[in-house]
Amino acid sequence: MATPSMTLFHSPASPFVRKVLVLLHETGQRERVQLEEVQLTPVSPSATLNAHNPAGKIPALRLADGNVLYDSRVILEYLDQQHVGEPLIPPCGAARWRRLTQAALADAILDAAVGMRYESFLRPEDKRWPQWLAAQAEKIERSLQQFEEQAIAELSSRFDIAAITLACALGYLDFRQPELDWRQRFPQLAAWFAEVSQRPSMQASEPPR
């Protein structure tokens, strides 16, 4: 077994970390990366992480030369250039911008879902903002509707950056917002997610329950 040459600052529950772990598994690079767990919240930073990433966010990837990359989108782009197989991010042309835009929409689902988690779990109950929570849920709903109506064929064609990001987003909804019950309204996405959830990369990166 090769000695890891990179360190990933991570939390097992982070869907943004999960994207990186899935890509590492899919591209055969998992053994190149050592995991260093960091526990943090928006009001409880990590001095260790802040020393490497002033934004105080995970994931952050420390390279062999000591340089640190962040956020997840930058890390994914870097790692996708470090393997010999077919790239998971199209290198150029219309396909690149289409798939990156789909990945960005899936990231928007994650941003909304993580924000809902913070608002409903970390913020004191008397300071929570129901209208804001509803707006985030509506953002998730609109995004899932677009994937359901316009992207199933593309998502099914190969497990690339867009598919990885959406799979991690749907997994996070199941993990933190099961009350949204998204499968009933988006049956094609539900069927697609049931299939990709069986991939070894998805099973190996599943957050602890």
pLDDT at 1: 56
Tens-place pLDDT, residues 131-168:
999 999 999 999 999 999 999 999 999 999 999 999 99
The mean pLDDT value of the chain amounts to 94
Cα within 13 Å of Cα(206), Cβ side: 12
pTM of structure: 0.94
Which residue, 67, 55, 57, 51, is CA-closest to 5? 67
What was the pLDDT predicted at 43? Answer: 75
pLDDT at residue 46 above 80?
yes
What pLDDT is attached to residue 120? 86
CATH 3.40.30.10 fits 6-80, yes or no: yes
pLDDT value for 116: 94
Q: Provide the pLDDT for residue 2.
A: 67
Give the pLDDT score at 78. Answer: 98
pLDDT tens digits along 100-112: 999 999 999 999 9
Compute the average pLDDT of residues 81-94: 96
Torsion 152-132-57-91 (CA) sign: positive
Buried b (16+ CB within 10 A) or exposed e, 82-98: ebeeeebbbeeeeeeee
Confidence of residue 48 (pLDDT cuts 50, 70, 90): confident
Q: Which of 114-118, 147-151, 200-204 has the lowest mean pLDDT?
A: 114-118
**H or E element at residue 137:** helix 130-150
For the segment 65-94, the average pLDDT, to the nearest whole number, is 97
| pLDDT at 194 (0 to 100) | 98
Query: What is the domain partition of the chain in residue ranges?
Result: 6-80, 93-200
Q: What is the CATH number of domain 93-200?
A: 1.20.1050.10
Judge whether residue 85 has pLDDT over 70.
Answer: yes
